[in-house]
Amino acid sequence: MPLYAIFQIALKSLLRNKTRTFLTMLGIIIGVAAVITMLAIGQGAKTIVDDQINSMGTNVITVMSNMFNRSAVRSESGSSSGLTLEDVENIKDRFNDVLYASVLVSSFGRLKYKSLNWYSPVMGVDTDFQFIRNYEMEEGEFFTDNDVRSGNKVIVIGTTVATNLFPDESPIDKMIRLRNVPVRIVGVYKSKGQSVAGGDQDDMVIAPYSMVLGRLTGRWRPNLNIFVSAVSKEKIPKLQTDIMNYLLETNRAATEEDFVVNSQTDIAETSNRVSNTMTLLLASIASISLLVGGIGIMNIMLVSVTERIKEIGIRMAVGAKKKDVLMQFIIEAVMISLLGGLLGILLGAGLSKTLEHMMKWSISISTWSIVLSVTFSCAIGIFFGWYPAKKAASLNLIDALRYE
Amino acid sequence: MPNTLIKIENMSKTYQMGESVVHALRNVDLTINKGEFVAIMGASGSGKTTLMNLIGCLDKPSAGSYILDGIDIHSLNDNELSDIRNEKIGFVFQSFYLLPRTTAFENVELPLLYSTNLNLHQRREKVLQALETVKIAERSHHFPNQLSGGQQQRVAIARAIVNQALIMLADEPTGNLDSRTSVEVLSVFQELHRNGITVILVTHEKEIAMYAKRLIIFKDGRIISDQINNNQRNAAEDLKNLPKEEED
Ligand SMILES: Nc1ncnc2c1ncn2[C@@H]1O[C@H](COP(=O)(O)OP(=O)(O)OP(=O)(O)O)[C@@H](O)[C@H]1O
Ligand SMILES: [Mg+2]
């Protein structure tokens, strides 16, 4: 018997019972739509995290002291941590894989312009920092090497700071007070959005580290961190160990626990693991509804076989083989699940788009999740259609014909 | 014997009903040639339907041999039996056995769907021709529940002949019909018979049996009488004499 004839027969049987066919299909539609939407949400979350990680810069390694927990060692450069300004220079000189390196001194300060006040974190850095973290300028310029050498009182601000202090004028070249020290704004950097941790990366003041160390910290000595950018992603792990070894060799660290040498890829991996786990969890929950839909198909197919015993007998009497009957019922099940799957994809896409609109997320439906859903719904049709079909095909002809 | 179509020897059929054994057929010998028109009669439970099912390859005998059109049926597997049913045999049952919610056309098309590769056009041609033969073509798009009993039986006959069956097996085809419609159906059988189809008909009514050429009588699973009918009636003639539109 030609395959298209079986398809024709199966299709006719399904159309003869439109309401029931649709209701059975609904289970699959909802299941597939749920899977598609959940995968899309997971994918969307991943894109957001990826963007945030990219906003941290390219191939970034951060070196932080862990010593505030331990006995503080005062070094010559005046840092209470184990890291010094010489370390920055040494790391830059020793390792060819270092593209940029900058110190980071974190502080906090009140900004005052005319009658407006604003509190912001302050980062004291070297000029390399702008390349490590990929700061692009919205207005003005980043400060120069000369500003860093001379400890000039110039700063670069983020857009949040700019809009709060300068609601209707350009902040460039304006003199404002930072911790009561008059400083000049030389630039505003382009928005970087939220950080991985959820903070506003645009609510920030960037200043030459020399000025921060000299003017803003007073008696309190801040923690020094070092930001390094590796020449390529592949070099990151080696550079991480090199830097740790350097710190151990120069006796700055007694054990590896004294310092944290973190890389962007570490963070990316961690957050990817988290978002993958979340996606998997969401998808598994959704798959359960797909499974329930499959059981619905089996249930209806069993009812349908019992209802159509006489029909099966008639078909066999006019020449249908066991395998023809088997195929007919399997194809009926697959048609329900496949069509349900396709409608489910449409519904899922619609839901994802609505969510995207409502949550202002970028939600992406991958071809992968579509292929997965179609394959999965086909498999469900075959799997859950098999038993009822087998039952239909193994009916005894005479008994089936006589069945009332 | 090139003319032999059915050769049954020593055929028995028993049914196991719990403890007891029902002997539906006991050592039946029967030979039917191509182009015969046979009527089988007998009391209820005498084994007529059992024999028809065996001739039609719907069931397998408990013992005995059966040669159909030169083929030893005993040696065939399920798939080959399906092909025999599809290609050589046309069945007509007392209660029609049409698929519900399926048009007359589609019902008649059914055997062709399980048959060798015919394209849509060829199938259509054959179905319409079969419907034409039983004079029901104008009802081809009606559902069974929109047809009278006689019309449903015509559709069933069309389904039986659509694949050029050699044998027409009719088990009490007029059992659910009034006498005029019965004669109409018989005239269709006689016409098919004239066109070369072998017809085997089971009936309880002597008048209906008289339209056949050969009369076989069953009792307790055995043939007790097998005679030529010398007074064969002509259904088409009788139909002319029967008053039309009259209630029976
Ligand atoms: N599937 C079955 N299981 C058990 N016994 C059966 C079965 N089919 C038929 N029989 C028995 O076999 C015998 C012959 O039955 P069959 O149907 O051939 O009779 P019949 O001559 O066609 O009768 P009727 O004129 O009432 O149709 C009966 O006694 C019947 O009870
Ligand atoms: Mg009977």
Token pair for B32? 């039917």
* pLDDT at residue A71 greater than cutoff 50: no
Nearest ligand to residue B47 Cα? 1
Q: What is the dihedral of CA B180, B186, B187, B190, to 10 degrees?
A: -170
Q: Could you give phi then psi for residue B197, rounded to 5 degrees?
A: -80, 140
For A229-259, write each residue's pLDDT tens digit. 998 888 888 999 998 888 888 766 667 777 8
Q: How far is the CA of B220 from the centre of ligand 1 (A)?
A: 10
Question: What is the rounded CA–CA span in Å between residue A192 and residue B31?
Answer: 96
Tell me the domains of chain B and their CATH numbers.
Answer: 4-235 (3.40.50.300)
Question: Do the beta carbons of residue B12 and residue B26 sit within 8 Å?
Answer: yes
Mean pLDDT for chain A overall: 86
Q: Is A221 on the interface with B (CB under 8 A)?
A: no
Q: Could you give phi then psi for residue B41, rounded to 5 degrees?
A: -125, 170
Name, in order, each residue with C-beta under 8 angstroms of B165's C-beta and a sequence gap of 6 or more.
Answer: B87, B88, B89, B90, B197
Question: In the prediction, which pLDDT does B213 show?
Answer: 96
Highest mean pLDDT among A64-68, A122-126, A220-224: A122-126
Is A197 or A149 the better-scoring residue by pLDDT?
A149
How high is the ipTM of this complex? 0.94
Q: Is A20 on the interface with B (CB under 8 A)?
A: no
Question: In the prediction, which pLDDT does B190 show?
Answer: 96
Residues of A in contact with B100 (CB under 8 A): 311
E strand or H helix at A237: helix A236-249
Least confident interval from A195-199, A233-237, A332-336, A353-357: A195-199
Beta bridge partners of B72: B67
* pLDDT at residue A81 greater than cutoff 50: no
DSSP single-letter state for residue B145: G
Question: In the prediction, which pLDDT does A72 show?
Answer: 44
Kindly state the average pLDDT of the residues B173-196: 94
For B68-82, write each residue's pLDDT tens digit. 999 999 999 999 999
* pLDDT at residue B248 greater than cutoff 60: no
Question: In the prediction, which pLDDT does B236 show?
Answer: 92
User: Does ligand 1 have an atom closer than 6 angstroms to the CB of B22?
Assistant: yes
- Of B58, B83, B113, Cβ closest to residue A317: B58
Is A336 or A194 the better-scoring residue by pLDDT?
A336
User: Does ligand 1 have an atom closer than 6 angstroms to the CB of B224?
Assistant: no
Kindly state the average pLDDT of the residues B180-185: 93
Q: Is A12 on the interface with B (CB under 8 A)?
A: yes
- Concatenate the DSSP letters of all residues of B46-110 into one string: SSHHHHHHHHTTSS--SEEEEEETTEEGGG--HHHHHHHHHHTEEEE-TT--PPTTS-HHHHHHH
Is A52 or B183 the better-scoring residue by pLDDT?
B183
Tokens 């059915």, residue located: B6
* pLDDT at residue A219 greater than cutoff 80: no
Nearest CA to ligand 1 atom 7: B15
Question: What is the residue type of A185?
Answer: I
DSSP single-letter state for residue A193: -
User: Does ligand 1 have an atom closer than 6 angstroms to the CB of B44?
Assistant: yes
The reply to whether residue A9 touches residue B78, judged by beta carbons under 8 angstroms, is no
Query: How close B228 comes to chain A (CA, Å)?
Result: 30
Q: How far is the CA of B241 from the centre of ligand 2 (A)?
A: 31
Nearest ligand to residue B50 Cα? 1
Mean pLDDT for chain B overall: 93
* pLDDT at residue A70 greater than cutoff 80: no
Q: Could you give phi then psi for residue A211, rounded to 5 degrees?
A: -70, -40
Q: Is A238 on the interface with B (CB under 8 A)?
A: no
For residue A222, what pLDDT band results from cuts at 50, 70 and 90? low
* pLDDT at residue A79 greater than cutoff 70: no
For A105-124, write each residue's pLDDT tens digit. 888 889 999 889 999 999 99
Question: Where along chain A do its domains lie?
Answer: 3-52+270-402, 73-254
For testing contact with chain B, the best of A318, A326, A397, A401 (most B CBs within 10 A): A318
Residues of A in contact with B60 (CB under 8 A): none
Kindly state the average pLDDT of the residues B119-131: 93
Question: What is the rounded CA–CA span in Å between residue B162 and residue B170?
Answer: 15
Kindly state the average pLDDT of the residues A75-92: 68
Question: In the prediction, which pLDDT does A78 show?
Answer: 38
Question: In the prediction, which pLDDT does A253 show?
Answer: 61
Mutation choice for ligand 1 from B50, B59, B94, B219, CB with most ligand atoms inside 8 A: B50
Token pair for A260? 């944290």
Interface of A with B in 348-367 (CB under 8 A): none
For B2-36, write each residue's pLDDT tens digit. 689 999 999 999 999 889 999 999 999 999 999 99
Percent of chain A exceeding pLDDT 90 equals 41
For A153-180, write each residue's pLDDT tens digit. 999 999 999 999 999 889 999 999 998 8
DSSP single-letter state for residue A191: P
Is B189 or A198 the better-scoring residue by pLDDT?
B189
Nearest ligand to residue B42 Cα? 1
> For chain B, which residues lie within 8 Å of any Cβ of chain A, measuring from their own Cβ?
53, 56, 58-59, 78-79, 82-83, 85-87, 91, 93, 97-102, 106, 110-111, 113-115, 117, 159, 163
| Exposure string over B128-154, b if 16+ CB within 10 A, otherwise e | bebbebbebbebbebbbeebebbbbbb
Q: Could you give phi then psi for residue A110, rounded to 5 degrees?
A: -90, 130
Question: In the prediction, which pLDDT does A252 show?
Answer: 64
- Of B78, B101, B110, Cβ closest to residue A318: B110
For residue A218, what pLDDT band results from cuts at 50, 70 and 90? low
State which ligand 1 atom lies nearest to the alpha carbon of B43: 25
For residue A357, what pLDDT band results from cuts at 50, 70 and 90? confident
Kindly state the average pLDDT of the residues B197-206: 96
Is B140 or A247 the better-scoring residue by pLDDT?
B140
Question: What is the rounded CA–CA span in Å between residue B184 and residue A59?
Answer: 93
The reply to whether residue A9 touches residue B113, judged by beta carbons under 8 angstroms, is yes
User: Does ligand 1 have an atom closer than 6 angstroms to the CB of B50?
Assistant: yes
For B89-119, write each residue's pLDDT tens digit. 999 999 999 999 899 999 999 999 998 778 8
Question: What is the rounded CA–CA span in Å between residue A132 and residue B70?
Answer: 92
Nearest to A392 by CA among A338, A296, A334, A323: A323
Question: Do the beta carbons of residue B3 and residue B166 sit within 8 Å?
Answer: no
Quote the longest CA-to-CA distance of chain A: 104
* pLDDT at residue A69 greater than cutoff 60: no
Question: In the prediction, which pLDDT does A248 show?
Answer: 83
Question: What is the residue type of A78?
Answer: G
The reply to whether residue B58 touches residue A318, judged by beta carbons under 8 angstroms, is no
* pLDDT at residue A73 greater than cutoff 90: no
Query: How close B165 comes to chain A (CA, Å)?
Result: 11
Q: How far is the CA of B48 from the centre of ligand 1 (A)?
A: 8
| Exposure string over A180-192, b if 16+ CB within 10 A, otherwise e | eeebebbbbbeeb
